[in-house]
Structure 1
Amino acid sequence: MFKNNLKIAWRNLLKNKGYTVINIGGLALGIAVTLIIGLWINDELTHDNYYKNKEKIAQVWQSQTFNGRTGTGPAIPLPLEPALRDGYGDNFEHLMMASWTQDSYIKYKENSISRPGNYMQKMAPKLLNLEILKGDKDGLREINSIMLSKSTADALFGKENPIGKIVKIGNQYDLNVTAVYNDIPYNNTFNDTDYIIPWDHYVANREWIQNSLDNWGNNSFQMFVQLSANANMENVTSIIRNVKKDLNEDTAEFNPQLFLLPMEDWYLRSNFEEGKQVGGRIKYVWLFGIIGAFVLLLACINFMNLSTARSEKRAKEVGIRKSIGSQKGQLIYQFLSESFLVVLFAFCVALLIVLISLGGFNELARKEIIFPWDNIGFWGISIVFILFTSLLAGSYPALYLSSFRPVDVLKGTFKSGKHASLPRKILVVLQFTVSVAFIIGTVIVMQQINHAKNRPIGYDREGLIQIPTWSADFEGKTDLMREQFISSGAAIEMATSSSPTTQIWSNRSGFTWEGKPEGFQEDFAWTEVSPEYANTLDLKIVQGRDFSRDMASDSLGILINRTAVKYMGLENPVGTIIRDSDEEDPGPSMKIIGVVEDMIAQSPYEPVKQGWYVYDRHNNFSYYNLRLNPKQSASQNLAIIERVFKENFPAIPFQYDFVDDQYARKFATEKRVGTLSGIFTALAILISCLGLFGLTSFVAEQRTKEIGVRKVLGATVFNVWNMLSKDFLKLVIISCFIAVPIAYYVMNGWLQEYPYRVILKWWIFVLAMMGAMGVTVLTVSFQAIRAAKQNPVKSLRTE
C-alpha cells in the first residue's frame, strides 16, 4: 500500500511540474532556514559544554548600590578569598582567584608573540578540565611556571619540546614552561586563554595587589568556584550573600550582596538591572527560534494553499476512489504520503542549501558551526522534523480533499462553494502578517543601530590608533617615543592612557569636595592620561583649560566630563578641590582644571558615565594613542610608525588598533542580529511570494474562460489585471493592519532595554506596508498580465 501511494504521489508531482517546483522550493527554503537557525541555537545552548563539571562551576558576582542605583558585576575584592576559603570552604571543591584576561608579549629566543591569558591559582587545570598534552597536570605549583595552549606552544617553539624551556613574559619575567594543554574550543569561556601563570606570581610582582590584600574597597579581581558534591548554588548564595557587608564596615554603606552566577548563565543570562537578572543573549535564542518556526510555518502554508486550491482538479480522483470502496482514512493516508514525499525532497534540497551557505553564515554570525554528519541525535531529530512537517503541511489538504462526496463529484454537481477559498485567504493573511511584522522589526533594529552610531561621541576617532604597551621596555620612554613619532611625520600628536579609548578599566570612589551632599555615594570612571590626551583625541575643552607640561601643579590636576559636573552638583567646577576621604592615607589633594565634552567609552546605547581624566604621575599607562598625519595615507603613516617602533623595541611585536574599528565592534552583536534578521525576512517574503505566485497562476488558470469572455466583450489588459490583483491586494492590506500593532508592541518593548533609543516613527510602518503591497503587486502582475494577453478565441475553444 505504501509503495503504491508513493507511486501515485510521484506521478502527481511529475504531472504538475510548476506547482511541484514551487512547493518543493518554498519548503526547502523554509526547512533550510529552520535548520541553520537550529544549528545556531544548538551552538548557543551548548556553550561551555567543554567543562565536565559545568553544573557545579560558578563565578562570584556582587551587587552594590550607589545613590539608589544598583549595579552588578563579577569584580570582587581580594580579602574575600580567605574569608570564603576559611569560613565556608566546605561548600567548595575548588575556589580559584583569577586576573582579567589580558594580552602579554611572550618571547622565546628571538621569537616574540602576543597572546591573551590569565593569572590563576593552582587548581585551574582541574577546575577548567584542561586536557594536558605534555608536561605536568599540576603545572602551576611553582611560582615561576607557565602553562601554554597548544597553538601558542606551536607558534613559539615549532617542533621543539616546550617542556622545561624558559620564556620571557612582557620582556620582564623568566618563566619555565611546565605544561601544554589542548586549546579550549571556541564556543566556551576561557577559549582565549592561551597561557596561564600562577596567581602567586601575579601577587608577588605587583605592589598594588599586595596593597589590596586587606582592601575590601578595591574590586579588581575575579573568583571562580566549583561547588562540593553536596552543595547547590542557591544554598551557597544564601550563605555567602552578606559576607562582605558583615566583615567590612567601610563598604557596608553600598549594601554589597554576593551571589554565585552558574556557568550555564555566563553566556546567555548575564544581564542585570537593579540587582535582578534580566536575561542576556538568551533573548536572541528566542528571537531566532521564533523566526525559524514562522518561516517554516510560511512554507507549510504555501503547501496547504496550493494543495487545496487544486482540489477541484483532483475531485474526480477522490470520487472514483470513494465509489470503489476507498475509506476516508485511506485517502488521508494517500495525501499525507504525497506530503511526506514533497517534504522529503524539500529536506534533501534544504541540506544542500545549508551545506552551501554554512560557511558564509559562520562568517556572518562569527561562529564555527560544523554540520553534524556523525550526530545520531541530529538525524533522529531530522526524521521527527520531516514527519512533523509532513503532518503540519499535509493535514489540512488531506482532511479537505478526503471529505468530498463521490456522488456530487461524479454527477458533475460538485462545487467548492463561495466559502471554499476562505481558508486559503486566511492563510495568505497569516503569511503576510508575519512577513510585514518581520520587515518592521528588521527596519527598527537597523534604525536603532544607526541611531547609536550617529550619536556624538565627543572626540574624533578617524585617524586615531592605539598601540598596547604591555612590557617593561616601555617604561621611561614616553617622551622619547612621542618626539620620534611626531618628528617622523607619521603622527601629529601622541598621548598615553591607562585604559583604551573605547573602554573604562577603572572606577573609583572615596572622594570629597565642597558642596558634596551628605551621604552621597560617588562612583567615577577613572582614566590616567598624559598631558596631550585631549589634544590627541580632539577632545573639546568646554570650561577651564587643558593640562600643561609647563605647569608643575597640573600633576595634581583633573579634567572631568560634562556628566561629572551634573553628577557632582557643581555650578563652577573649575578650581574645585578634590580630597581623598581615606583618613589613614588621604594622599594629596587634586584640583579640577577643566571640563571636557562627554566621551562615549562604554556602550553607545547607554548614557555617558561621569568620568575623571587624571594626570598620570606614576607612568601607569597601557596604551600609546597616536593621531595620524592626515596629509599622508594611513598605510604610509603606519609603515613609518612600525619602523620607529621596531628601532626602539626590536624584541616586541608591533601591534595597533584603529579606534574607529574598536568603536564599531560595540555594534557587532546588534548589527549581526539585524543582518541575520534582514536575510531571514527576505527569505520569508520570498517564500510568501512563491505561494502567492502559485495561487495567482491557479486562479488565472481557473478563470481562463471568464477572462476570454471579458476580453471578447472589450475588457482591456488593465481591467483583467485589476480583476486578478485586487483580491490578493486586499488580503495583504488586511495583513498590514494586523501586523502593524503587533510589531509596534513587540519592538517598543525591545527598545525599552536601551536608555538611548530611537523613537518609533509612523513612516517605518507605512514603508513596510507599501513594501509588502509593492511586492504583492509585482508577484501577482506577472501571471495576471500573461493571462490577460492570451488570445480569447483560443481560451474559449480549449475550454
Structure 2
Amino acid sequence: MLKNYLKVAFRNLLKNKGISFINVFGLSMGMAVTMLIGLWIWSELSFDKYHQNYDRIATVWQRQSLGNQASAFNAMPIPLAAELRASYPDDFKQVVIVTGGQHTIAAGEKKFTKSGCFMEPGGPDLLSLKMLKGSRTGLKEPSSVLLSASLATSLFGDKDPMDQFVKLDNNNKLTVKVTGVYEDLPNNTTLSTMAYIAPWELFVSSWDWVKNIKDIWDANAMHIYVQLADNTDFNKVSQKIKDVKARHSHDASGVKTALFLHPMNKWHLYSSFVNGVNVGGQIQYVRLFGLIGIFVLLLACINFMNLSTARSEKRAKEVGIRKAIGSVRSQLIWQFLSESILVAVFSFVLSLLLVILILPWFNKVADKDIHVLWTSGWFWLAGIGFSLFTGFIAGSYPALYLSSFQPLKVLKGTFKAGRFAAVPRKALIVVQFSVSILLIIGTVIVYRQIQFAKDRPVGYTREGLLAIQMTTPEIYQNYNPIQNELMSTGTITAMAESQGPLTDIWSDESGFEWQGKVADQQESFATIGGKFGYGKTIGWHFKAGRDFSQDFATDSMGLILNEASVKYMGLKNPVGETIKWNGQSYHVLGVVENMIMTSPYEPVQQAIYYLLKEPGNFINLRINPNISTSKALVTIGAVFQKYNPGAPFEYKFIDQEYAKKFSEEERIGKLATFFAILAILISCLGLFGLASFLAEQRTKEIGIRKVMGASVFQLWQMLSKDFVVLVSISCCIAVPVAWYFLANWLQRYNYHTTIVWEIFAVVGAGALLIALLTVSYQAIKAAMANPVKSLRAE
C-alpha cells in the first residue's frame, strides 16, 4: 500500500512540474536558511564548551561604584590570587593568574608575532588543553613554553619541537625551551588565538614594572581564572569574595569595590556591562537570528500549504472516483499525506546541497568555521523529523478537506468550493509579506545605524596613519635612527611614540583635582601618553590652546584635555588652569576635539593627554600623501628590518582598525540582508505559484470577458487587484511592528539614527512593486491567451 501511495504521489509531482518545482525549491530554501541559522546558533551556544570544566570556570571581575556611576572590568591586582587560594581553599580547585598579549616568537630564522599568554602552572589543566606532545605540567619549568600545534609546525616544520629553544621578543631573558605542544583551540573558543603559553614567573622576572606591582592591591593589571569546587556555585562564591579587595585596598577616593565571578558560559554571549551591570551581549543576535530562521521557514511552509490547498480542489473528481470504487477515507488521507511528505523529504535533501554550496560564503561573512554536523544523530533526527512534521502539517488540510467530499456531488459536477475556501490562503499571504517587509525594514535600519556612526567626526585624521607595536629591545634602542632615516627619505611626514593604540584606551586613572571640583566628583579619566610630535602625527583638531612643544621646558608638566574632560570638570577657560594628579601640579596647554578611541556608538570618555617620559609601546607614522602607499610600505619595512631584525615588520592602518569597530554590526547587516532577500524571494515564489493557479482556474472567465470586449489592462487589473490589497494589508501590519522593535533596538546605542517615515514608504512601495511584477507575468499571460482555446470546451 505504501508503495502505491508513493508511486501515485510521484506521478502527481511530475504531472504538475511547475507547482512541484515551486513547492520543492521554496521549501528547500527555507530549510537551508533555517539549517544555516541553526548551525550558527549551535556554534554560539557551544562557545568554550571545548574545555572540559566549562561549567565550573570563571574570571574574577570587579564592580567599582561612586555615587550614581559604576563600571565593571576584569583587571585584577596580582596579590588577589594568593589571597583567594589561602582564604577560600574549599571554594576553588584552581586559581590562576593570566596575562595575554602579542609577542614576537622566533626559532632560528623563522619569526612570527603571535597572541599568547603567560600563566601560572595550573592554567593548562584548568583549560583542559589536549596535549599532543609533553604534558600540561610543562609550565613548572621556569624557562619553558607550550606551543600550539600550528605554531610548532610553522617554527619547526616536520622536526620534533620538544626540547627545542625559542626566543620571545628577541630578548635573551626570554629564551625558553619547548616542553609541550597542545592541539589548536577551535574557532568558537575565547582563547582560539592563543598560540603559546609561557610561565607566569618568567613574565614577572623579565619586566620590572610587574615586579613593582606584585604586592600592590590597587594596581589592576592581570586576569585571574578560577575553577570552582564541585559543591559550590558562582553566586554563593561571589558573595563570599566580594569584599576581599576592598579590605586590602588603600584607595582613598571613596570608590566602592565589589568582586564577583563571571562564568565561562557567559563570556561570549553575556559580555556587555553598562554602569557595572551585565546587560547581555551577543545573546541578542542569537535570539534575533533564531526568530529570523523561524520566520523564513514559516514563509516556506506557508507557500507549501497555500499551493497544496489550492491544487487540492482540482483533484475533487479523483477523490470522487476513488470513493466510488471503494476507497475509505483513511486511505485517501494517507494518499495526500504521502505526497506532502515526499515533497518535504525532497526539499530536505535539496536543502543539504544548498547549505554545502552556501556555507563557505556564510562562514566568511559570519566570521565562523561552521561545518554540517554529519556525524551528529541529533542533526539527522531534527532534519528528518522536521521534514516529516512539515509534510504532515502541510498535507493535513488538503487530506482532511478532500477526503470529506461526497462522491455523488463531485461526479455529477455540482461540487463547488465554499465561498470562504480562499480565506486561509489570503491570510497566509498577508503573514508572508508582513514578515518579509519587517525583515527588509530591519535591514535598512541596521545599515542606517552603521552609516550614522561612521559619519561621526573622529577628532583626528585617519588617512595615511600607520601604527607599529614596539615589542623588542632593538626597536626602543634604535628609535631615533629609524625616525631620522624615514624622515630623510621623505616617506613619512611625522612620527611619534605613544602609550597605547589610537583605537583603544589602555589606561584609566583617577585622583585628579581641579578648581571647582565637587566633593563626590571622581569619575576616572582615560590617560594617554605621547611623545613630542604625537599631536602633529595623528592630526589633532585643537579647539583652544596649543600642542606640546620642545621649545618650552615647562611642557613636561603640561596636559591636554579633550572636550569631554572640559565639560565634566566644568572649566570655562581651561587653558592655563592647574590640575593636580597624584599630588603633582600640571597646567593645561590646550583642548582638542573629542577623539573616538573606543566604541563609535558610545559617548567619548573624558581623556587627559600627557607628555610621555619613558619609551612608548606604539610608533605612529604618517605616510607622505605624495608617495604611493605600497612604495612607502616597502621603504618603511626595509628600515625597520635594518634596525629591528629580531621581529617581523608588522603594521596596522588606523583607518582599517577603526573600520573594525563596525564589523559586528556590518556582519549582522549582511546576514540580515541575505535572509531578507531570501524571505522576499520565497514569498514571491509562492505568489507566483498561486497567481498561476488562480489564472488557470479563471481561464474560461477570462475568455468570456475578452469576447465581451475587456482589454488586457482591465483583465490584468482584475487578476492583480486581490494581491495588491493583501500586500497593502501586510504593509499596515509590518510597519508598526517594525517601528516598535527597531526603536527599542536603537535605544541600546547612545548615538543612533532616527527612524523616518520615508523608510516605511519606500519599503512598502517596493514590496507592492515586487508583488505586482510577480503576479503580472501570469496575469498578462492569461489576459493575452486566445479566448477560442479557453472556451472550446464550452
Name the TM tier (shorter chain). Answer: over 0.9
CA–CA separation in structure 1 for the residues paired with 2:188 and 2:748: 26
Query: Residue 170 of structure 1 aligns with which residue?
Result: 169
Cα distance change on mapping 1:309 and 1:251 into 2, 3 Å: farther
Query: Residue 81 of structure 1 aligns with which residue?
Result: 81
Tell me, yes or no, if the aligned pair for 1:93 and 1:226 is still in contact at 8 Å. yes
1:612 aligns with 2:611: no
Deviation of 1:383 after TM superposition, in Å, equals 1.6
1:488 aligns with 2:483: no
CA–CA separation in structure 2 for the residues paired with 1:388 and 1:515: 71
1:765 aligns with 2:766: no
Tell me, yes or no, if the aligned pair for 1:510 and 1:522 is still in contact at 8 Å. no
Q: Which of 703, 709, 716 is residue 708 of structure 1 equivalent to? A: 703
| Bigger Cα displacement from structure 2, 22-31 vs 165-174 | 165-174
Query: Residue 112 of structure 1 aligns with which residue?
Result: 111
Counterpart AA for 1:590:
Y
1:667 aligns with 2:662: yes
| Bigger Cα displacement from structure 2, 330-339 vs 670-679 | 330-339
Query: Residue 333 of structure 2 aligns with which residue?
Result: 332
TM-score, normalization by structure 2: 0.97
CA–CA separation in structure 2 for the residues paired with 1:774 and 1:377: 42
Counterpart AA for 1:84:
L
Tell me, yes or no, if the aligned pair for 1:217 and 1:251 is still in contact at 8 Å. no
Tell me, yes or no, if the aligned pair for 1:245 and 1:251 is still in contact at 8 Å. no
CA–CA separation in structure 1 for the residues paired with 2:395 and 2:458: 55
CA–CA separation in structure 2 for the residues paired with 1:343 and 1:717: 38
Cα distance change on mapping 1:261 and 1:252 into 2, 3 Å: farther
Tell me, yes or no, if the aligned pair for 1:37 and 1:292 is still in contact at 8 Å. yes
After superposition, give the CA deviation of every residue in 1:280-318 in whole Å (9 maximum; x if it has no partner): 111111111111111111111111111111222111122
CA–CA separation in structure 2 for the residues paired with 1:89 and 1:478: 49
Tell me, yes or no, if the aligned pair for 2:218 and 2:250 is still in contact at 8 Å. no
Tell me, yes or no, if the aligned pair for 1:66 and 1:523 is still in contact at 8 Å. no
Structure 1 outlier segments of 4+, above 4 Å: none
**Structure 1 runs not aligned, ≥5 long:** none
CA–CA separation in structure 1 for the residues paired with 2:543 and 2:375: 63
Query: Residue 135 of structure 1 aligns with which residue?
Result: 134
After superposition, give the CA deviation of every residue in 1:316-348 in whole Å (9 maximum; x if it has no partner): 122233344434333222211111100111111
Counterpart AA for 1:795:
S
1:59 aligns with 2:55: no
CA–CA separation in structure 2 for the residues paired with 1:669 and 1:236: 34
Tell me, yes or no, if the aligned pair for 2:169 and 2:646 is still in contact at 8 Å. no
SS at match of 2:215: coil
Query: Residue 150 of structure 1 aligns with which residue?
Result: 149
Deviation of 1:67 after TM superposition, in Å, equals 4.2
Tell me, yes or no, if the aligned pair for 1:27 and 1:299 is still in contact at 8 Å. yes
Q: Which of 776, 782, 785 is residue 790 of structure 1 equivalent to? A: 785
Query: Residue 680 of structure 2 aligns with which residue?
Result: 685
Query: Residue 406 of structure 1 aligns with which residue?
Result: 407
Which structure 2 residues correspond to residues 365-764 of structure 1 after superposition, within 5 A?
A: 365-581=366-582, 586=583, 588-619=584-615, 621-764=616-759
| Bigger Cα displacement from structure 2, 483-492 vs 404-413 | 404-413
Identity, % of aligned pairs?
A: 50
1:300 aligns with 2:296: no
CA–CA separation in structure 1 for the residues paired with 2:134 and 2:300: 56
CA–CA separation in structure 2 for the residues paired with 1:705 and 1:209: 89
Query: Residue 185 of structure 1 aligns with which residue?
Result: 186
Tell me, yes or no, if the aligned pair for 1:580 and 1:589 is still in contact at 8 Å. yes
CA–CA separation in structure 1 for the residues paired with 2:212 and 2:570: 32
Query: Residue 160 of structure 1 aligns with which residue?
Result: 159
Which structure 2 residues correspond to residues 317-328 of structure 1 after superposition, within 5 A?
A: 317-328=318-329
CA–CA separation in structure 1 for the residues paired with 2:392 and 2:570: 67
Tell me, yes or no, if the aligned pair for 1:245 and 1:252 is still in contact at 8 Å. no
CA–CA separation in structure 1 for the residues paired with 2:302 and 2:680: 13
1:20 aligns with 2:46: no
CA–CA separation in structure 2 for the residues paired with 1:333 and 1:248: 75
SS at match of 2:670: helix
| Bigger Cα displacement from structure 2, 711-720 vs 691-700 | 711-720
| Bigger Cα displacement from structure 2, 358-367 vs 167-176 | 167-176
CA–CA separation in structure 1 for the residues paired with 2:405 and 2:734: 35
Deviation of 1:25 after TM superposition, in Å, equals 0.9
Query: Residue 227 of structure 1 aligns with which residue?
Result: 228
CA–CA separation in structure 1 for the residues paired with 2:413 and 2:50: 67
CA–CA separation in structure 1 for the residues paired with 2:155 and 2:66: 47
Cα distance change on mapping 1:66 and 1:662 into 2, 3 Å: farther
SS at match of 1:250: coil
Counterpart AA for 1:611:
A
Tell me, yes or no, if the aligned pair for 2:253 and 2:522 is still in contact at 8 Å. no
CA–CA separation in structure 2 for the residues paired with 1:284 and 1:759: 21
Tell me, yes or no, if the aligned pair for 1:52 and 1:129 is still in contact at 8 Å. yes
CA RMSD of aligned residues (A): 1.5
Deviation of 1:463 after TM superposition, in Å, equals 1.1
Deviation of 1:45 after TM superposition, in Å, equals 1.0
Deviation of 1:78 after TM superposition, in Å, equals 2.1
Counterpart AA for 2:750:
P
SS at match of 2:138: coil
Deviation of 1:200 after TM superposition, in Å, equals 1.2
CA–CA separation in structure 2 for the residues paired with 1:236 and 1:166: 41
Tell me, yes or no, if the aligned pair for 2:460 and 2:539 is still in contact at 8 Å. yes
1:246 aligns with 2:247: yes
Tell me, yes or no, if the aligned pair for 1:107 and 1:167 is still in contact at 8 Å. yes
Tell me, yes or no, if the aligned pair for 1:557 and 1:590 is still in contact at 8 Å. yes
TM-score, normalization by structure 1: 0.97
Cα distance change on mapping 1:92 and 1:252 into 2, 3 Å: farther
Tell me, yes or no, if the aligned pair for 1:507 and 1:524 is still in contact at 8 Å. yes
CA–CA separation in structure 2 for the residues paired with 1:261 and 1:524: 25
CA–CA separation in structure 2 for the residues paired with 1:192 and 1:398: 55
Deviation of 1:214 after TM superposition, in Å, equals 3.4
Cα distance change on mapping 1:322 and 1:255 into 2, 3 Å: farther
Deviation of 1:712 after TM superposition, in Å, equals 1.4
**Structure 2 runs not aligned, ≥5 long:** none
CA–CA separation in structure 2 for the residues paired with 1:133 and 1:666: 36
| Bigger Cα displacement from structure 2, 42-51 vs 132-141 | 132-141
Cα distance change on mapping 1:552 and 1:143 into 2, 3 Å: farther
Tell me, yes or no, if the aligned pair for 1:246 and 1:252 is still in contact at 8 Å. no
SS at match of 1:310: helix
After superposition, give the CA deviation of every residue in 1:109-156 in whole Å (9 maximum; x if it has no partner): 222211110111110110111122223431111222221112112212
Counterpart AA for 2:142:
I
SS at match of 2:255: coil
